[in-house]
Amino acid sequence: MKKLLAVLVIIGVAAGTAAAGQPPQKQEKQQAQGKVYIPKEVKEPMMAGQAARQARLDIPFSIFKNLFLPAQQAQQAILFFKAKNADLGFAAAVAPQIADATDAAQPKMHARLNLFLQFHTVENGQPVKLIKEIFVPATLEADQAGYDPEAEAWYTIGYPLMPGNYLASLAIASQDLKKIGIQYYELSLPDAKSFTQALDTTPVFFMKGLKQEAAPELTPLLHKGLFAYSVLKITPSIDHVFKVGDALDTFFYIYGVQPKDGGKYDIAIDFEVYEGEKLAIKFAPGAFDNPLVSLPLQLKQTLLIKKGDEERTETRDLPAGDYTFVIKVEDKVSGLKGEKKVPFKVV
């Protein structure tokens, strides 16, 4: 499968060594004092609210989930947040005058922001040691036609971290640093070496889109409606809601499997769909030689139809309803097993 092969190449590629930039309005001061990625106007309120996780909402936004995927010895931590267009300060861009109206591009709305991100290790629920601070300048764009200031969109930003427990402090600031929104989010990143008694996976998600770039993203960037993972730009399903006839394009990594001689793996996976306690779909068992799994599964049932003395099978789309996707994994080398359940809805 072409797409699967494209995905698997990233397993040997680092998710990227992030390089933090510096706010342009602070460059002269920072040149005198050394590298400072977060100016005091932002850092002081970030630090003040850490212990109590006290948000600041000059610019309202919320962090609503995180994902993680392996990045060599580290884990690529990906934060998801959402905000309204109006709160991010979108404004009409000044377009150049074009004599021929047929050549005019669609008018755009732009929002220019500064993002600041800190990661602290956490012990006993409290931030202890600053691991990294990052500055990410961002320019967002939207079509002026149909622009809705009340519309809410979701965004992502990612960074590779070693296994551990962290507090992420994320600030979104206007360019003049006079308006600042701050939110906090706790996350845990597993140590791949710790899975010695059972298998586990990264958070299982379903892809709506996948694009492979020529090179990995080495500097953390803000993304709208997708996230970056090495050479990939992935659009996941956020709500796990699908239409009748859609496929579950599954993506996850398996922790705890052991390679055979030569580096290949021998992994058996059963995929099932349940409606309550009732088995709705049992897919053919899969054999995998890599712990990174990307696989589209068609949501179709094979039903036994009885009419009088006659019996026949018929394949139909999974009807609308609430379901649970179940993954059962077995490592044929070590004998370890694991299971993961993910709810989803068909409408």
Q: How close are the terminal C-alpha atoms of the chain, in Å?
A: 28
Looking at the structure, do residues 252 and 331 belong to the same domain, yes or no?
Answer: yes
Tell me how far apart the alpha carbons of residues 283 and 269 are, in angstroms, rounded to a whole number: 10
Residue ending a domain, among 211, 228, 250, is: 211
Residue ending a domain, among 163, 193, 211, is: 211
pLDDT at res. 97 = 52
Looking at the structure, do residues 265 and 328 belong to the same domain, yes or no?
Answer: yes
pLDDT at res. 98 = 55
Looking at the structure, do residues 338 and 259 belong to the same domain, yes or no?
Answer: yes
Taking only the tens of pLDDT, the chain with its 347 residues reads 444 444 444 444 333 444 444 443 443 344 334 466 899 999 999 999 999 999 999 999 999 999 999 998 899 999 999 999 999 999 987 655 555 555 556 789 999 999 999 999 999 999 999 999 999 999 999 999 989 999 999 999 999 999 999 999 999 999 999 999 999 999 999 999 999 999 999 999 999 999 999 999 888 999 999 999 999 999 999 999 999 999 999 999 999 999 998 889 999 999 999 999 999 999 999 999 999 999 999 999 987 777 777 777 888 999 999 999 999 999 999 999 999 999 999 99
Tell me how far apart the alpha carbons of residues 235 and 228 are, in angstroms, rounded to a whole number: 9
Looking at the structure, do residues 55 and 174 belong to the same domain, yes or no?
Answer: yes
In a domain, 291, yes or no: yes
Instruction: Kindly report the CATH number assigned to the domain that includes residue 35.
Output: 2.60.40.10
In a domain, 260, yes or no: yes
pLDDT at res. 10 = 46
Is beta strand 337-346 parallel, antiparallel or unpaired with respect to 62-71?
Answer: unpaired
In a domain, 296, yes or no: yes
CB 311 within 8 A of CB 305: yes
In a domain, 112, yes or no: yes
CB 111 within 8 A of CB 172: no
pLDDT at res. 99 = 53
pLDDT at res. 16 = 40
Tell me how far apart the alpha carbons of residues 44 and 121 are, in angstroms, rounded to a whole number: 18
Looking at the structure, do residues 253 and 161 belong to the same domain, yes or no?
Answer: no
pLDDT at res. 19 = 41
In a domain, 102, yes or no: no
In the chain, the number of structural domains is: 2
Instruction: Kindly report the CATH number assigned to the domain that includes residue 323.
Output: 2.60.40
Looking at the structure, do residues 72 and 117 belong to the same domain, yes or no?
Answer: yes
Looking at the structure, do residues 194 and 325 belong to the same domain, yes or no?
Answer: no
Tell me how far apart the alpha carbons of residues 99 and 34 are, in angstroms, rounded to a whole number: 49
Looking at the structure, do residues 252 and 163 belong to the same domain, yes or no?
Answer: no
Residue 245 tokens read as 């006839």
Tokens 């055979």 correspond to 260
In a domain, 96, yes or no: no
In a domain, 47, yes or no: yes
Looking at the structure, do residues 161 and 199 belong to the same domain, yes or no?
Answer: yes
Residue 66 tokens read as 């995180």
Amino acid found at 279: L
Q: Report how far apart, in Å, the C-alpha atoms of 200 and of each of 43, 53, 110 are.
A: 37, 30, 42
In a domain, 233, yes or no: no
User: Which residues form the domain of 294?
Assistant: 240-346
Looking at the structure, do residues 24 and 131 belong to the same domain, yes or no?
Answer: yes
Looking at the structure, do residues 205 and 246 belong to the same domain, yes or no?
Answer: no
pLDDT at res. 20 = 42
Looking at the structure, do residues 52 and 178 belong to the same domain, yes or no?
Answer: yes
